[in-house]
């Protein structure tokens, strides 16, 4: 009897072992970089921009009597501090959405999803020098092209305080956020659905398009911004990493701001026809 019981018991245990436990089944990860995700991102981008405007306008209206600010609300859109604050808040909202979307919906690492890879010291120096050289080229060529008109961005450098604020934004914020949006997020969507060449061309054009309002009327500068965008996107495509284009962008903006700082006696004497950045 004992032998029979043990045999039946062992057979039952063997049958249980052959059945995969339900709790070990793994839910598949969602497909990455779908068109639907891109459309949702564009909608989120629009509504976060609206939210940033509301936040800044309401905040200014609330603080204005307390801080005794004199700028009328209708003139805020020409004020450098307002414009940079608005853009910074919008970028923060976009960054928060992109981070949570990638890490909680895609369930993957934020930096790895956007192809952020570590650079060696040698490569970092090389891309820093490349960004510096690119800024030199962009400074030299526009005066040789037709239509050297003034443009809206130039008028924003109307005081040393405004110049310092723009320079800080151009170095500390713009390179990371613009590379994250164009050569990180949008590049991934375009590369999947249109191929590498399409991703390079499309992100370069969109990058230039973002800056057209700043250089409106000075089309020689718009052409150079397109060249800069193509360079950043090409480096992103050839290296398969977001990091080189970020380092290029950082060095490019930083060099132009440093040269402008030195040339204008610490932003106290602003020339015309100089600014090409971001």
Q: Pick the closest to residue 234 from 205, 200, 190 (CA basis).
A: 200
Residue 224 pLDDT: 86
Radius of gyration of the chain (CA): 26
Residue 11 located in a structural domain: no
Residue where a domain terminates, one of 113, 141, 176: 113
Per-position b or e across 167-199, b if 16+ CB within 10 A of its CB:
bebbbebbbbbbbbbbbbbbbbbbbeeeeeeeb
CB 141 within 8 A of CB 149: no
Average pLDDT in the 258-277 region? 71
Determine the structural domain holding residue 59 and report its residue range: 32-113
Q: Is the pLDDT of residue 277 over 80?
A: no
CB 80 within 8 A of CB 88: no
CB 246 within 8 A of CB 130: no
Same domain, 102 and 222: no
Residue 69 located in a structural domain: yes
Same domain, 122 and 65: no
Residue 95 pLDDT: 97
Residue 64 binned pLDDT confidence (cut-offs 50, 70, 90) = confident
Average pLDDT in the 68-80 region? 82
CA distance 189 to 17: 44
Same domain, 119 and 252: yes
Cα–Cα distances in angstroms (integers) from residue 234 to residues 57, 205, 248, in the given order? 39, 12, 11
Same domain, 85 and 201: no
Same domain, 237 and 264: yes
CA distance 270 to 264: 5
Q: Is the pLDDT of residue 147 over 70?
A: no
Q: Pick the closest to residue 38 from 180, 193, 204, 206 (CA basis).
A: 193
Range in 35-49, 79-93, 122-136, 144-158 the model is least confident about: 144-158
Residue 29 binned pLDDT confidence (cut-offs 50, 70, 90) = confident
Residue 15 located in a structural domain: no
Q: Pick the closest to residue 81 from 63, 104, 105 (CA basis).
A: 63
Residue 23 located in a structural domain: no
CA distance 92 to 90: 5
Residue 81 pLDDT: 87
Residue 1 pLDDT: 46
Which run of H or E residues covers position 15?
Answer: helix 2-18
Same domain, 133 and 185: yes
CA distance 199 to 204: 8
Total domain count, the chain: 2
CB 139 within 8 A of CB 274: yes
Q: Is the pLDDT of residue 5 over 50?
A: no
Residue 260 pLDDT: 86
Residue 74 pLDDT: 78
Residue 262 pLDDT: 87
Residue where a domain terminates, one of 113, 145, 174: 113
Residue 6 pLDDT: 53
Give the three-state DSSP class for 268.
Answer: coil
Per-position b or e across 18-45, b if 16+ CB within 10 A of its CB:
eeeeeeeeeeeeeeebeeebbeebeeeb
Residue 232 located in a structural domain: yes
Residue 25 pLDDT: 56
Same domain, 144 and 207: yes
CA distance 71 to 60: 10
Same domain, 121 and 210: yes
Percent of the chain beyond pLDDT 90? Answer: 56
Residue 20 located in a structural domain: no
For the chain, the average pLDDT equals: 85
CA distance 219 to 25: 58
Q: Supply the pTM of this predicted model.
A: 0.84
Residue where a domain terminates, one of 79, 94, 113: 113
CB 181 within 8 A of CB 38: no
């Amino acid at each position: 009897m004992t032998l029979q019981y043990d045999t039946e018991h062992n057979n039952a245990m063997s049958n249980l072992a052959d059945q995969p436990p339900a709790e070990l089944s793994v839910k598949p990860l969602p497909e990455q970089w779908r068109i639907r995700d891109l459309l949702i991102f564009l909608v989120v981008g629009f509504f976060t921009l609206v939210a940033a405007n509301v936040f800044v306008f309401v905040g200014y209206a609330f603080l204005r009597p307390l801080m005794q600010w004199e700028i009328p609300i209708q003139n805020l859109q020409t004020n450098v501090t307002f414009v940079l604050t608005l853009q910074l808040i919008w970028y923060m909202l976009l960054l928060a959405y992109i981070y949570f979307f990638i890490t909680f919906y895609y369930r993957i690492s934020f930096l790895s999803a956007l192809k952020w890879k570590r650079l060696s010291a040698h490569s970092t120096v090389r891309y820093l020098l490349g960004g510096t050289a690119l800024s030199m080229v962009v400074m030299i060529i526009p005066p040789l092209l037709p239509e050297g008109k003034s443009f809206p961005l130039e008028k924003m450098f109307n005081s040393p305080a405004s110049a310092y604020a723009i320079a800080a934004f151009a170095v500390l914020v713009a390179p990371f956020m613009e590379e994250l949006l164009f050569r990180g997020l949008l590049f991934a969507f375009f590369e999947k659905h249109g191929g590498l060449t399409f991703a390079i061309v499309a992100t370069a054009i969109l990058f230039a398009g973002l800056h057209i309002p700043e250089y409106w009327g000075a089309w020689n500068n718009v052409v150079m911004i397109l060249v800069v965008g193509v360079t950043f996107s090409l480096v992103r495509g050839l290296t398969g990493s977001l990091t080189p284009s970020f380092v290029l962008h950082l060095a490019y903006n930083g060099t132009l701001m440093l040269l402008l700082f030195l040339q204008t006696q610490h932003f106290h004497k602003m020339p015309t026809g100089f600014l090409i950045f971001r």
